[in-house]
């Protein structure tokens, strides 16, 4: 029997006030992007049109150098499932039409979503972005649009999410969550992090943890807003881009605030579009920024134009395919408890498993090649993520 100095009763009394740390991992498939389309431009063929226009825009000589087979995968993806997440936009991209026009667009787009759901063509994730709570007028208009849309929606599709923009206070999040309760069901929303107050509040505290708590389990994502945030920081137009240090700071705050909450992260957009004489520059810019986001742990971003789908999927697929061999070897060594020169922790195994699940979900890797490389099927990968949580 080993001797000890501390009384078990004393230790139990001291530690009784400590709470158990609960960590959760995002559940289900995360889209690689969110495509924002102004509500007045959403028609029955919008998703198919984006895929067709993306395919028609492809000029291989203007694209960045890609690993073998990636472009073929991109083209197949654009034919099969061009849009993973569609956001019907009633905010900045939509403008401020007359009330009767917005009323009509709210109802008609809800009917379109119901039709897509009925005929099996709805994207894997879909939702709408309402106006912010900046002013009483915007607040009233945004909630009316939401009410008309949800009232006209025959059935809430899987992956349905409401985007709440320009959040500046905990009160706004609390009220928005309370409004969603009035509709019944289990409506979810994502917060757009695009104000300085959504990073650090007036009292110098990190704002996002309080936002997530105020959402009472309804907040599923944090989406970065490139241009509103950089403008709020006082940056000139030339410096308003995703690679600026101010954006890096905001994104890292988002990461540490959301870690262990199950809330997903999305990077913002670039307004440098691959069109006309600027197509190559637009593609180079979008590809580079998408890769940069992926390398910094942001696996989703915004797309604003069909041609951006080309470099979105090219960058995502290249990222996962280039990481296949090394990451598979590390995960296989961890599972088999084989020393491969790197001693990984359970948290790293969780991240590696999530890497392969995301790659399979978006079509970058096939389930068979992942199983061959790692020794784990999809069920095994999901179990490892759950065990490591």
pLDDT of residue 151: 97
Exposed / middle / buried, residue 348 (Cβ in 10 Å: 0-12, 13-18, 19+) = middle
Q: Which residues of the chain have pLDDT under 70?
A: 21-22, 338-344, 387-389
pLDDT of residue 342: 53
> CA-to-CA distance for 388 and 351, rounded, in angstroms?
9
CA distances from 221 to 74, 165, 328 (A): 26, 12, 28
Domain 33-322 grouped into CATH 3.20.20.60 = yes
> CA-to-CA distance for 216 and 135, rounded, in angstroms?
24
Residue spans of the domains in the chain: they are: 33-322, 324-388
pLDDT of residue 247: 97
> CA-to-CA distance for 181 and 198, rounded, in angstroms?
23
């Amino acid at each position: 029997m080993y001797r000890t100095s501390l009384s078990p009763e004393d230790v139990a009394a001291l530690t009784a006030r400590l709470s158990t740390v609960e960590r959760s991992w995002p559940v289900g498939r995360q889209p690689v992007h969110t495509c924002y389309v102004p509500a007045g431009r959403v028609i029955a063929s919008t998703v198919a049109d984006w895929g067709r226009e993306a395919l028609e825009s492809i000029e291989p000589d203007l694209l960045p150098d890609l690993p073998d087979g990636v472009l073929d995968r991109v083209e197949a993806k654009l034919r099969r499932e061009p849009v993973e997440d569609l956001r019907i936009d009633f905010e900045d991209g939509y403008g401020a039409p007359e009330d009767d026009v917005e009323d009509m667009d709210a109802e008609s787009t809800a009917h379109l979503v119901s039709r897509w759901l009925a005929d099996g063509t709805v994207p894997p994730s879909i939702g709408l972005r309402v106006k912010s709570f900046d002013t009483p007028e915007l607040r009233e208009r945004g909630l009316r649009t939401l009410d008309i849309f949800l009232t006209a929606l025959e059935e809430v599709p899987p992956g349905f999410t409401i985007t709440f923009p320009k959040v500046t206070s905990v009160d706004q999040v609390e009220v928005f969550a309370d409004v969603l309760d009035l509709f019944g069901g289990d409506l979810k929303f994502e917060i757009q992090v695009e104000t300085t107050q959504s990073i650090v509040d007036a009292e110098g505290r990190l704002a996002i943890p309080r936002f997530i708590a105020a959402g009472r389990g309804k907040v599923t994502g944090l989406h970065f807003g490139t241009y509103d945030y950089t403008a709020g920081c006082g940056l000139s137009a030339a410096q308003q881009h995703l690679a600026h240090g101010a954006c890096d700071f905001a994104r890292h705050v988002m990461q540490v605030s959301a870690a262990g909450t199950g809330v997903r992260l999305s990077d913002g957009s670039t307004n440098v579009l691959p069109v006309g004489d600027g197509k190559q520059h637009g593609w180079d810019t979008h590809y580079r920024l998408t890769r940069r986001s992926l390398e910094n742990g942001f696996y989703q971003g915004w797309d604003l134009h069909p041609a951006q789908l080309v470099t979105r999927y090219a960058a995502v697929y290249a990222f996962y395919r280039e990481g296949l061999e090394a990451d598979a070897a590390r995960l296989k060594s961890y599972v088999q408890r084989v020393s491969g020169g790197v001693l990984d922790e359970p948290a790293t195994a969780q991240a590696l498993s999530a890497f392969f699940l995301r790659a399979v979900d978006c079509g970058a890797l096939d389930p068979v090649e992942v199983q061959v490389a790692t020794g784990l099927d999809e069920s095994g990968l999901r179990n490892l993520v759950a065990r490591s949580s």
